[in-house]
Amino acid sequence: MTMTAHAPNDQIAKRNVLILVLAQAFLGAQMPMIFIVGGLAGQSLATNPCLATLPISLIVAGSMLSATPVSAIMQRYGRSAGFALGAAGGALGGLIGGYGLYLGSFPVFLRGSLLTGLYMSAQGFYRFAAADTASDEFRPKAISYVMAGGLLAAVIGPQLVKLTSQAFVIPFLGTYMAVIAVNILGVGLFAFLKIPRPVAPSEDAPKGRSRMELIKTPKIAVAVICAMVSYALMNLVMTSTPLAVVGCGYSQNNAADIVTSHVLAMYVPSFFTGHLIARFGVEKVVGAGLVILAAAGAVALQGVEIENFFIALILLGLGWNFGFIGATTMLAGAHESYERGRMQGLNDLMVFGGVTVASLASGGLMNCSGGNPVEGWSAVNMAMAPFLVLAGGALLWFVLKPEAETA
């Protein structure tokens, strides 16, 4: 269900995948950078510790708010224009965030975080862009390979944090300067994409389903729920991780190493997730992802030794990979090309809406639900349970429903 005829052997799709992998690796490095230092910087600037993760929450809120307009821009002007706009938002967000640190102003810092959400929103469409020129057979692999670009981001981002977080007298200012550089240097990649701009529909062209009709389609509804829960729970736990690690007596470098292992676990499986989907079916892969997310919470609740943090965050990344890539594959095959802008924007609006709520809840659960970091960390991980039940129940309902009713 893509908008163009496919070249033999998916040649154009493979070229686009390579460029998107590089973008995911280089430009995407800014996300682990900001997720490592954002909560710690917020904790140093905020007068109320419950608001420590508010900068992360506003990044996700900015992504949620910009998902629909960014999708509309891509539908009208092409993917490259939307991705360049996202890089501009990332650079401006880094500039304002760094200025907020320089001033010691939490409100200014938060404005930068909100603008950074524009980049996060555009990055979320890399996976859909990979599918635009791919055949049905290559599509799940294309999505997986682009997500695998985050493997390099998992290495580049945390290492840049180690190099830059204390580079200036003002902590973390160097990290935000590095974010600006990443966006300025990386934006040129999008000039090499070969994804045709969508053709303007004629008067008699099919209009497609409305947003309400789309979201009522069983396959789409389940895909959105599973994507939302997978991403939101990953964000809930990851946002609190640096605070929990440092709060339990470990160093910022320990926190960076744990986040590195987590992000590696998010993206390394992408080299074979598409093959697993092709072999076992997308529903089984999504289900495995939800089970692994539950295992991550169980390990985290066993204690706060450094090994528990590493194992829990590795499982969290692996569960996200199976759940989110599987749900994305379900969604990509459930709508027509002329419904792309409408459905993908709606999907990311709902997914990042859930992630926004999760990141807002993360700081409150971590810092304000118990008397110490151990109790807060336990509260964060116990909060996963009801949402895993929701997503698991929806997926099971879809699998058991007669095939004629699930189209």
CATH number for the domain spanning 83: value is 1.20.1250.20
Roughly how many angstroms between the first and final C-alpha of the chain, as a whole number?
A: 14
Residue 356 covered by a domain: yes
What residue ranges of the chain have pLDDT lower than 50?
A: 1-6
Which of 405, 404, 368 minimizes the C-alpha distance to 51? 368
Q: How many whole angstroms separate alpha carbon 13 and alpha carbon 325?
A: 18
Residue 167 covered by a domain: yes
Residue-level pLDDT at 184: 95
Tokens of 119: 């980049």
Residue 386 covered by a domain: yes
The number of beta carbons lying within 10 Å of the beta carbon of residue 386 is 9
Residue 204 covered by a domain: no
DSSP summary character for residue 191: G
Phi-psi region of 201 (alpha: psi -120 to 50; beta: other; left: phi over 0): beta
Q: Can you list the alpha helix ranges (DSSP code H) found in 78-136?
A: 79-103, 106-124, 126-132
Q: How many whole angstroms separate alpha carbon 353 and alpha carbon 376?
A: 23
Q: Which residue has the tokens 């807060």?
A: 376
Residue-level pLDDT at 128: 82
Residue 116 covered by a domain: yes
List Cα–Cα distances, 99 to 87, 109, 247, in angstroms: 18, 7, 27
Residue-level pLDDT at 298: 96
Residue 205 covered by a domain: no
DSSP summary character for residue 169: S
Residue 203 covered by a domain: no
Which residue range is the domain that position 15 belongs to? 8-197+210-405
Residue-level pLDDT at 141: 83
pTM over 0.85: no
Q: Which residue has the tokens 């099971």?
A: 396
Which of 356, 333, 30 minimizes the C-alpha distance to 177? 30
Rg (CA), the chain: 20
Is residue 38 exposed (0-12), middle (13-18) or buried (19+ Cβ within 10 Å)?
A: buried
**Do 366 and 142 meet the contact criterion of CB atoms below 8 Å apart?**
no
Residue 351's identity, in one-letter code, is V
Residue 2 covered by a domain: no
Q: Which residues make Cβ contacts (< 8 Å) with residue 307, sequence separation at least 6?
A: none
Total structural domains within the chain: 1
Q: Which residues make Cβ contacts (< 8 Å) with residue 87, sequence separation at least 6?
A: 27, 119, 122, 183, 184, 186, 187, 190
Residue-level pLDDT at 5: 45
The number of beta carbons lying within 10 Å of the beta carbon of residue 403 is 6
